Every structure is written in C-alpha cells, then in structure tokens.
Amino acid sequence: MTRSTDLLLFLQVVVYSFVIGGMIPLLVPRIAVDFPNIFVGGLNGSLIGASCMIVEISFLSNRSIRWLRRLPIAVIILMRAFAYSICIVCGLTLPALLVLGEALWLESNFALSFWMSISIAFGISTLIELLQLLGKEAAISILTGRYRRPRAEDRIVMFADLAGSTALAERLGDLKFHELLGDVAYDLDKPIAASGGETHRYVGDAIIVTWSMDKPANFARSVACAQAMIDTLARTSDDFVARYGQPMRMRIALHCGPVAAGEVGGWKKEIALLGDTMNSTARIEGAARDFGADIVISDAIKTHLPEEWAGKLYRLPDYEAHGKQDALRLWTVRPDA
C-alpha cells in the first residue's frame, strides 16, 4: 500500500472503531447509557483501532522488514496476538482512567476482559495470516461461497515471468533459486498491491495478477503496475547482484477478457481461472520473450487505455501464436514512457 492508502485506511479504522466502541453502552446492560460512557467507549474503540493499525503498518505488515517474512506463520500470529493484546488492554483502561478516573484493572471482572482480549487478538491475528496466505480475494470468495459454481467474469490478466529462470535455477541450485523467487515476489508485492491488483497465484517463476474490468481505471493501473514492477527490479538490482550474482528482469504480458472462475479441490481449495483469455495471456508472454520486450499488451488492453497512453506505446509485428487461428495484435510500452 502507498502512504496515502495507509493513512486513509488508518483514519477509516479509527472512525469505525470509535463508532463501535461508542455503541458498547447500548449493548451491555450494566453500563449506564449516558454521554460520558458513550464517549469513553468511543475513545476505547478508537485507541484500540489506532494502536493496532500503527503496529500493523509500521511493523507487522511493513514490506521493508524482510526478516519478518522469513519467520514461521505461527510465530507471526503469536507476535501479532501479543501486540494486539497490549493495545486492547491499554485501550480499555486508559480512557476510563483519564476521563472518569476509574481504575478498571482493579475491578473483579477485569481478568475476564483481559483473557477475552487475548482470545480476540489471537483470532484476529490468525484471520489476517490466513487472508495473506490464501489471498484476500480467494479467502473471502471461499468463505462466502462465491465460486462454489463456476461463473463468468471479465478480468484484466497479467502474466509476469522471470527472464532467464532456467539458467538461473541450474546455476544456483533448487534451494537458492527458491529463495530468489521469494525475494522477487516480495519486492513485486508492493507495486501490485498499490495498483489494486490481486495476486491470483504463483506458478513456478511466474506471477499471475488480475484486476476487474468493471473499473475503467484498472486498465491504466495494470500497465502502470507493469512499469512499476520493472522499475522496482531495476532499483534493487545491486541487492540481487550481491545475493545471486546478477540483476533480475521480468517479462510481463497483459490481456483482458472473459474468464471462467470457480473453486477446485476438495480439502485443499483454490480459485481457478480458465478460458481463452488465460491461454492468450500465456501466448503473449511468449511473444514478449520472442520480441525481447519487457512489457507486451494486447490490442484489447490498448483500446481501453486513456488517450494519454497513445504516445507511450508502439505497435509490434503481428504474432502467430501456437494454437491461435488469428495473429495477435500486440503493443509494447516505450522505454522512456
């Protein structure tokens, strides 16, 4: 997320937490429904929400802290639960002490509130890690049953493939190459998230990202995301040279159209995207390799881009893709765009 997105999310959480906290006196019979209690409840909620968000943005979800990503998920869950517990307990006690002069920790039922806070924090921490593990879209879709039956959707699809991966794997070995893929995916996660893209899945050394076609701005965002991914690897080239002996380069293909989306699997479920759009995007990624281009977009993407993109693109020769009856009309982004 960008800083502006982080700030907006922070403010939203604080406001929502204030409203939810202010409703507590209405839900708990033993608390008098009056302005001081409603105000203190709102302060409780906003303080808890603000402190948890600060911990999340500055530390637990901070993409610049690389070592955190290497910790086991169970350790991160416990770290988040511990931090959230402190935030919740402080949020419950400080407003009452400062506004009402009440020391809630001396009350007989505080122990119950304390252990409930830890349980809630642990549950939230586990949920966050599951969302990150499965992907937000996949997790929510599986929970709501959105894709229990296949459905047709219009998607912008990106295939981003690591150039020269075969030679890299042979030189580095399987374990070191796997570590490299993790570092590349970690660096590219930020521009993908900033563009509103949803990482559909990792397939070997390739990343598949999608956007909904319902928002016209997503077409420009997807191309800008591709540029940002290329720029990100260029900025971190010295780090990759130091760790793996060479800079990294991606080949990126963008296409759009209808896909069939649905759940597959029994105990282990995932959302599968099928159809000609997916196959064509894979062929366009092959064209990027053949043309030696970093970014190749289909004519379908180009027709949806704003007019200011006209001078940033140039036409590639028609591409005869395997399995396609008609040649593909393709474009690439000028290096100076």
Report which of 135, 145, 268, 305 is spatially closest to residue 208, judged by C-alpha positions.
135
In this structure, are residues 163 and 250 in contact, taking their beta carbons and an 8 Å threshold?
yes
State the average pLDDT over residues 274-283.
Answer: 94
Instruction: Give CA–CA dist 236/214, Å, rounded.
Output: 34
For the chain, give the mean pLDDT. 84
Q: What's the N-to-C CA distance of the chain in angstroms?
A: 23
* Domain segments of the chain as ranges: 3-134, 148-333
Q: Is pTM, for the whole model, over 0.85?
A: no
Class of the 148-333 domain?
alpha beta
| Confidence band for 52, pLDDT divided at 50, 70 and 90 | confident
Region of 253 on the Ramachandran plot (φ > 0 left; ψ -120 to 50 alpha; else beta) = beta
| Confidence band for 320, pLDDT divided at 50, 70 and 90 | confident
State the average pLDDT over residues 95-105.
Answer: 72
| Confidence band for 106, pLDDT divided at 50, 70 and 90 | low
Q: Which residues of 228-256 are buried (b: 16+ CB within 10 A; e: fewer)?
A: bbbebbeebeeebeeebeeebebbbbbbb
Predicted confidence (pLDDT) per residue in 157-167, tens digit:
999 999 999 99
Instruction: Give CA–CA dist 237/33, Å, rounded.
Output: 60
Q: What does R_g of the chain's alpha carbons equal in angstroms? A: 24
Q: Of 86-95, 106-115, 256-265, where does mean pLDDT reach its minimum?
A: 106-115
Predicted confidence (pLDDT) per residue in 17-29, tens digit:
788 777 777 766 6
